[in-house]
């Protein structure tokens, strides 16, 4: 349950983001996107109740494993690509793809969550202008404030895929300003263990010019799923969740929270109605 204090939403932008998130969650039905079960409000707060995904955050599992093998990374990237492609088909840019916003269900399939930064009615690569996102995953055009759109999500996909395969995002630095400089200027390098086909896909997703990035054209996600990296994927079966996930989270029951970091599960629940 996401609880938002109305006092914190008096700023118009925050209120707009909250409305957008609620409308998107309500409108979008997709196997790899979290579903909204209830939305209601009291005098002081807004509440959004989502389905509970007991598999935990992809971020948590990546931290445990350090990095994923190529097959596991390909599986997650495939489901994420289908989810983002669906959003783009509805004119929605996600703008906050990161390992923390990808949850796993009990079987090990992904679900995108947190649509607080999503924007509607964007059908190109430059109509959105708000500076937003998570530093490690921000596309160069957002940093440059030159207008952004769908292609920014594909940059973030490249960043996340690189992180899954290598253990860290490609331009990571603990100093955010240095990291921003690297995102804009540093040469993209790869560890020796990465396969040539994985390097090729990452090189095409992490292109600084959004118009030349893979997925930037009218065909959007179809450009990406045709890449050789995904040659073994049956996309119809993938969308129907007929492909067995390479990793199944250990889930003891419907209310098991063992796949979430204790930093969250040990927090005191302070909200009451």
Residues belonging to the active site: 96
CB 65 within 8 A of CB 101: no
User: Residues, the chain, total?
Assistant: 273
CB 109 within 8 Å of CB 241: yes
**Cα four-point dihedral sign 60, 27, 24, 125:** positive
Give the Cα separation of 235 and 203 in Å (integer): 23
Strands 2-5 and 45-50: antiparallel
Burial class (CB within 10 angstroms; exposed 0-12, middle 13-18, buried 19+) of 167: middle
Tokens encoding 183: 């995102």
| Helix axis angle, 196-205 to 150-166, nearest 10° | 150
Q: Do residues 52 and 131 touch, judged by C-beta distance below 8 A? A: no
How many CB atoms are located within 10 Å of the residue 58 CB? Answer: 23
Rounded CA separation 5/156 (Å) = 29
- The side-by-side arrangement of strands in the sheet containing 45-50 is 2-5, 45-50, 36-41
């Amino acid at each position: 349950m996401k609880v938002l204090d109305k006092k914190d939403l008096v700023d118009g932008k925050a209120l707009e983001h909250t409305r957008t998130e609620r409308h998107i969650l309500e409108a979008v039905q997709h196997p790899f996107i979290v579903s909204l079960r209830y939305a209601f409000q009291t005098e002081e707060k807004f509440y959004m109740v989502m389905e509970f995904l007991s598999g935990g955050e992809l971020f948590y599992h990546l931290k445990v494993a350090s990095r994923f093998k190529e097959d596991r990374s390909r599986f997650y990237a495939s489901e994420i690509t289908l989810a983002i492609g669906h959003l783009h088909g509805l004119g929605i840019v996600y703008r906050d793809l990161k390992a923390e916003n990808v949850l796993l269900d009990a079987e090990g399939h992904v679900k995108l969550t947190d649509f607080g930064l999503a924007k509607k009615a964007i059908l190109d690569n430059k109509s959105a202008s708000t500076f937003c996102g998570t530093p490690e995953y921000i596309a160069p055009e957002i940093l440059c404030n030159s207008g952004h759109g769908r292609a920014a999500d594909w940059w973030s996909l490249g960043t996340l895929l690189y992180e899954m395969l290598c253990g860290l995002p490609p331009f990571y630095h603990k100093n955010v300003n240095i990291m921003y400089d690297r995102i804009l200027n540093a040469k993209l390098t790869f560890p020796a263990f990465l396969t040539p086909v994985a390097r090729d896909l990452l090189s095409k997703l992490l292109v600084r010019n959004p118009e030349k990035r893979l997925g930037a054209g009218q065909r959007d996600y179809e450009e990406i799923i045709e890449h050789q990296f995904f040659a073994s994927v049956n996309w119809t079966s993938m969308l129907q969740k007929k492909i067995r996930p390479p990793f199944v989270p250990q889930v003891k029951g419907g209310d098991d929270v063992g796949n979430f970091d204790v930093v969250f599960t040990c927090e005191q629940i302070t909200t009451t109605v």
